[in-house]
């Protein structure tokens, strides 16, 4: 009898020795995820802005496989025994979480309209409802560098089958020199098409806006003319170096700092007006991405690499002097997201004396951060100049100098979608998830 009691007790102790630490670890991770979720909710960063996992809570068994699989680190967490989107804004749609889920509880979907934007209707060859007008890359709703490269190539292969007479008219005008536009341009070269690529900024697209030293994860992919891009992990800086090399060595022509302003259809052709010139083309590929054209301040020093127009990952900015410029929800949300990181010194500069168009909830959180002295409000101020280590603000009392590591400008801009709608391109109303699942 005593033997049995001893055996049972020892067994229970052994089981407890394994189970209790496991349970404590699960509880600790769950608490961390919950805290992160609550913190990110304040600035709206819990919600996704593009492709992201949708978790079927009934099917989810809370194993955490998806959390471990995410290469971005902290997009998902397990809360109350279910996988939860914790840092949705950081998700870029790798989809490894869906692959890792043992019960198929995760599907990839697009963010709801309003948080991202609508999705244009495109054919399997990436053509819109306007004949010979194509959309490639993330603008069409599917993210990731590899997808953009494949789509850019595929769209041009379709164009090449329809090429017209050699009469001086461009076979193809490509707008955007991110991965989709560059791949489209290389395919146009390979196919011997008469092409032009217009890029409003510099070569690289959204990659240029990634946080410094961001590790880019991708799959090997064939780049027309150049060959295979073999890496699976590469830093932002090295990837931009590779793009530069590709452009130099292939002789691809990219007209940078040239923005497409207008696109009109006439007599089965397109007339494109840019910030520098006018073009006529038989086919157009819009590889504009989804991030639009931010309005600029137009002050000296704005071209410095420390000036950003979008906050992509608040957690990469810690213990820094930061200036946010603007008075709308995005500026306020960025200021809050940066203020709740460790030991940042955040100033929010707005030219008006009060916020007129900010959601009540954001104003509440802003006041809280101001009260805690985590955000310094510089109302009625205008940025005059940005230098490598400081910014100059003009105030009612004269000029003020602030030490500065980064400037985030959030003063509005255009989304690409208004332009597409004006062109008469059809958009999905609700079919967002259809497209995502077709990826
Ligand atoms: C923070 C972050 C991290 C990411 N990390 C990864 C990762 O690790 N791996 C991965 O595969 N993907 C990642 N992505 C996603 C990836 O960057 C995008 O899916 C990809 O860049 C889309 O390529 P694109 O060519 O369609 O568009 P973009 O790269 O957005 O390029 C569009 C280009 O069009 C130009 N343009 C827009 N309008 C005009 C106009 N009117 N006239 C002229 N030019 C115009 C823009 O200036 C821009 O250069 C990440 C995204 C973000 C935001």
pLDDT for 409-439, tens place per residue?
999 888 888 778 888 899 876 433 343 333 3
356-384 pLDDT per residue, tens: 878 888 899 999 999 999 999 999 999 99
Closest CA relative to residue 92, chosen from 49, 39, 151:
49
Of ligand 1's listed atoms, the one at least distance from the Cα of 90 is 1
Mean predicted confidence (pLDDT) in 49-72: 90
Please identify, by atom number, the ligand 1 atom nearest to the C-alpha of residue 416.
38
Residue 104 tokens read as 């198929």
Q: Is the CATH number of domain 133-292+415-437 3.50.50.60?
A: yes
Ligand 1 binding pocket mutation candidate from 180, 205, 231 (most atoms within 8 A of CB)? 205
24/156 Cα distance (integer angstroms): 55
Distance 348 CA to ligand 1 centre (A): 27
- Find the 234 Cα to ligand 1 centroid distance in Å: 16
pLDDT score at 433: 39
Residue 358 DSSP one-character state: -
Beta bridge partners of 215: 235
Residue 178 CA to ligand 1 center (angstroms) comes to: 5
- Position in ligand 1 atom list of the atom nearest CA 201: 47
CB 326 within 8 A of CB 410: yes
- Domain residue limits, the chain: 27-109, 133-292+415-437, 307-413
pLDDT at 73: 80
Q: Return the pLDDT at 293.
A: 83
* Distance from C-alpha of 175 to C-alpha of 74, rounded to nearest angstrom: 34
**Contact assessment for residue 426 and residue 127, using Cβ atoms and an 8 Å cutoff:** no
Summarised one tens digit per residue, pLDDT across range 262-295 is 999 998 999 999 999 999 999 999 999 988 888 9
Average pLDDT of the chain? 89
Q: Give the nearest ligand 1 atom to 210 CA.
A: 1
**Do the Cβ atoms of 61 and 102 come closer than 8 Å?**
yes
The predicted pLDDT at position 112 comes to: 62
pLDDT for the residue numbered 431:
39
Instruction: State how far the Cα of 315 lies from the Cα of 307, in Å rounded to an integer.
Output: 17
Q: Is the pLDDT of residue 115 over 60?
A: no
Helix 360-371, helix 329-339: angle, nearest 10 = 40
83 alpha carbon – ligand 1 mean position (Å): 28
Residues 24-46 have a mean pLDDT of 86
What is the predicted pLDDT for the residue at 344?
95
**Can you spell out the DSSP letters for 390-411?**
EEEEEETTEEEEEE-SEEEE-S
Q: Closest residue (by CA) to atom 37 of ligand 1?
A: 288
Q: In angstroms, what is the span from residue 356 Cα to ligand 1's centroid? A: 32
Residue with the nearest Cα to atom 4 of ligand 1?
92
Q: Confirm or reject CATH 3.30.300.30 for domain 27-109, answering yes or no.
A: no
CA of 220 to the centre of ligand 1 (A): 18
Return the DSSP state at 127: B
Query: Nearest C-alpha to atom 13 of ligand 1 is from which residue?
Result: 144
Q: How far is the CA of 309 from the centre of ligand 1 (A)?
A: 14
pLDDT tens digits along 202-249: 999 988 878 777 788 888 999 999 999 999 889 999 999 999 999 999
pLDDT of residue 117: 47
Ligand 1 is surrounded, with C-beta below 6 A, by 92, 137-139, 143-146, 148, 175-181, 198-201, 205-207, 210, 216-218, 259-260, 287-289, 291, 293, 312-313, 416
Q: Rounded to the nearest whole angstrom, what is the distance from the C-alpha of residue 150 to the centroid of ligand 1?
A: 14
Fold match, 27-109 / 307-413: no
279 forms beta bridges with 272
Strands across the sheet containing 375-379? 307-308, 406-409, 321-325, 345-350, 375-379
Task: Dump pLDDT digits (tens) for 300-359.
Answer: 999 998 999 888 778 889 999 999 999 998 899 999 999 988 789 999 999 999 988 788
pLDDT at 436: 38
Architecture of the domain delimited by 307-413: 3-Layer(bba) Sandwich (3.50)
Query: Measuring from atom 27 of ligand 1, which residue has the nearest CA?
Result: 289
Q: Which atom of ligand 1 is nearest to the CA of 146?
A: 11
Tokens of 261: 């302003």
Q: Which of 145, 151, 312 best tests ligand 1's pocket when mutated (most atoms within 8 Å of CB)?
A: 145
**Nearest atom (ligand 1) to Cα of 290:** 30
Ligand 1 centre from 363 Cα, in Å? Answer: 31
Per-residue confidence (pLDDT) for residue 174, from 0 to 100: 98
What pLDDT is attached to residue 101? 94
Q: How far apart are CA 95 and CA 191, in angstroms?
A: 32
pLDDT, position 142: 83
For residue 216, give the ligand 1 atom closest to its CA: 8
State the pLDDT confidence band at 83, using cuts at 50, 70 and 90.
very high
> Residue 113 is encoded by which pair of tokens?
């309209």
Per-residue pLDDT at 9 exceeds 50: yes
> Is 129 in contact with 426 (CB distance < 8 Å)?
yes
Q: Which atom of ligand 1 is nearest to the CA of 145?
A: 11
405 has pLDDT over 70: yes
Is the distance from CB of 136 to CB of 152 less than 8 angstroms? yes
pLDDT given at position 429: 60
Which stretch of 9-18, 118-127, 370-379 has the lowest confidence by average pLDDT? 9-18
């Amino acid at each position: 009898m005593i033997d049995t009691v001893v055996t049972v007790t020892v067994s229970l102790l052994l089981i407890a020795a394994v189970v209790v630490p496991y349970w404590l670890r699960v509880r600790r991770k769950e608490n961390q995820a919950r805290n992160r979720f609550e913190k990110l909710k304040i600035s709206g960063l819990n919600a996704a802005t593009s492709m992201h996992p949708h978790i079927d809570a009934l099917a989810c068994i809370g194993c955490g496989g998806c959390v471990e699989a995410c290469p971005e680190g902290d997009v998902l967490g397990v809360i109350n025994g279910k996988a939860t989107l914790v840092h949705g804004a950081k998700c870029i749609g790798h989809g490894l979480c869906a692959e890792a889920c043992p019960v198929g509880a995760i599907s990839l979907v697009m963010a709801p309209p309003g948080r991202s934007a609508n999705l244009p209707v495109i054919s399997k060859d990436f053509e819109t409802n306007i004949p010979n007008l194509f959309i490639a890359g993330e603008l069409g709703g599917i993210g990731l560098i590899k997808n953009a490269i494949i789509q850019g190539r595929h769209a041009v292969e379709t164009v090449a089958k329809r090429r017209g007479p050699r009469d001086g008219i461009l076979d193809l005008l490509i707008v955007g020199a991110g991965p989709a536009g560059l791949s489209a341009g290389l395919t146009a070269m390979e196919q011997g098409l008469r092409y032009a690529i217009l890029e409003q900024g510099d070569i690289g697209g959204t990659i240029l806006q990634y946080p410094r030293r961001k590790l880019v994860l991708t799959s090997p992919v064939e780049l027309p003319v150049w060959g295979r891009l073999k890496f699976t992990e590469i830093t932002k800086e090295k990837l931009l170096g590779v793009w530069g090399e590709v452009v130099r060595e292939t002789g691809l022509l990219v007209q940078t700092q040239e923005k497409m302003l207008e696109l009109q259809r006439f007599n089965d052709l397109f007339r494109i007006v840019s910030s520098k010139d006018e073009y006529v083309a038989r086919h157009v590929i819009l590889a504009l991405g989804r991030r639009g054209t931010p309005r600029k301040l137009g002050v000296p020093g704005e071209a410095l690499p420390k000036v950003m127009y979008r906050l992509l990952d608040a957690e990469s900015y810690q213990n820094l002097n930061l200036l946010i410029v603007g008075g709308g929800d995005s500026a306020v949300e960025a200021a809050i997201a940066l203020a709740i990181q460790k030991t940042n010194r955040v100033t929010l500069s707005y030219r008006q004396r009060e916020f007129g168009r900010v959601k009540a909830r954001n104003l509440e959180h802003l006041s809280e951060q101001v009260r805690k002295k985590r955000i310094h409000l510089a109302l009625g101020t205008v940025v005059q100049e940005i230098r490598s280590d400081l910014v100059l603000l003009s105030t009612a009392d004269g000029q003020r100098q602030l030490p500065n590591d980064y400037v985030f400008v959030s003063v509005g801009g255009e989304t690409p979608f208004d332009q597409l709608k004006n062109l008469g391109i059809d958009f999905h109303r609700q079919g967002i998830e259809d497209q995502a699942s077709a990826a």
